[in-house]
Amino acid sequence: MAIGAFFFSLMSVAVKLASQHLPSSHTVLARGVVTLVLSAIGLARSGKWTWGKDKPRLLLRGFAGFVALNCFYYSLKHMPLADATVIQYSSPVFTALLAAVVLGERISLRGGLLILASFAGVLLVAQPAFLFKGHVSASPFVLAIALCGSIVSAVAYVTIRRLRETDGPDVILLYFPLVAMPLSIGPVFRDAMMPTSFEWLLLLALGVFTQIAQIFMTKALHNEPAGRATAVSYLQVVFAYAWGMLIFGEHPNVLSFAGAAVVAASTFFLSTSASASSAKGAAKDEPETGPALIDGADLVINETGGE
Give residue-wise pLDDT tens across range 43-61.
Answer: 788 777 778 788 899 999 8
Contact of 235 with 5, CB cutoff 8 Å = yes
User: What pLDDT is stored for residue 136 in this prediction?
Assistant: 61
User: What pLDDT is stored for residue 280 in this prediction?
Assistant: 53
Mean pLDDT of 192-216: 88
CB neighbourhood size of 89 (10 A): 29
CA distances from 295 to 62, 222, 271, 291 (A): 20, 12, 9, 12
Distance from C-alpha of 139 to C-alpha of 128, rounded to nearest angstrom: 8
Residue 226, domain member (yes or no): yes
For 247-282, b/e burial (b = at least 16 CB within 10 A) is: eeebebeeebeebbbbbbbbbbbbbbbbbeebbeeb
Tallying the residues shown for the chain, one arrives at: 307
CA distances from 190 to 127, 193, 203, 276 (A): 33, 9, 18, 48
* pLDDT band, very low/low/confident/very high, at 224 (cuts 50, 70, 90): low
Residue 261, domain member (yes or no): yes
Residue 177, domain member (yes or no): yes
Per residue in 229-261, pLDDT tens? 656 666 788 888 889 989 998 888 888 888 888
CA distances from 118 to 145, 260, 265, 304 (A): 18, 9, 8, 19
* pLDDT band, very low/low/confident/very high, at 288 (cuts 50, 70, 90): very low
Distance from C-alpha of 5 to C-alpha of 127, rounded to nearest angstrom: 26
Q: What percent of the chain has pLDDT over 70?
A: 79
Q: Three-class SS of residue 135?
A: coil
Residue 306, domain member (yes or no): no
Domain that holds residue 186: 2-281+290-300
* pLDDT band, very low/low/confident/very high, at 265 (cuts 50, 70, 90): confident
Most distant CA pair in the chain, distance? 59
Per residue in 173-190, pLDDT tens? 788 888 888 898 888 888
Nearest to 86 by CA among 114, 128, 131, 121: 121
Q: Which amino acid is at 295?
A: D
Distance from C-alpha of 64 to C-alpha of 300, rounded to nearest angstrom: 15
As for how many domains the chain has, the answer is 1
Burial of 173 (0-12, 13-18, 19+ CB in 10 A): buried
Judged against a pLDDT cut of 90, whether residue 289 lies above it is answered with no
Residue 46, domain member (yes or no): yes
CB neighbourhood size of 166 (10 A): 14
User: What pLDDT is stored for residue 225 in this prediction?
Assistant: 59
Among 5-19, 35-49, 220-234, 241-255, name the most confident range: 5-19
Residue 234, domain member (yes or no): yes
CB neighbourhood size of 100 (10 A): 15
Q: With the CA atoms of 206, 211, 214 and 219 taken in that order, what torsion angle do they form, in degrees rounded to the nearest 10?
A: -140
* pLDDT band, very low/low/confident/very high, at 133 (cuts 50, 70, 90): low
pTM: 0.77
User: What pLDDT is stored for residue 60 in this prediction?
Assistant: 92
Contact of 161 with 98, CB cutoff 8 Å = no
Residue 307, domain member (yes or no): no
Residue 256, domain member (yes or no): yes
Judged against a pLDDT cut of 90, whether residue 148 lies above it is answered with yes
Give alpha helix (H) positions in the chain: 2-19, 24-45, 55-78, 81-88, 91-102, 109-126, 140-163, 169-190, 197-223, 226-233, 235-246, 254-285, 297-300
What is the average pLDDT score of the chain? 78
Measured in degrees and rounded to the nearest 5, phi and psi for residue 294 equal: -65, 120
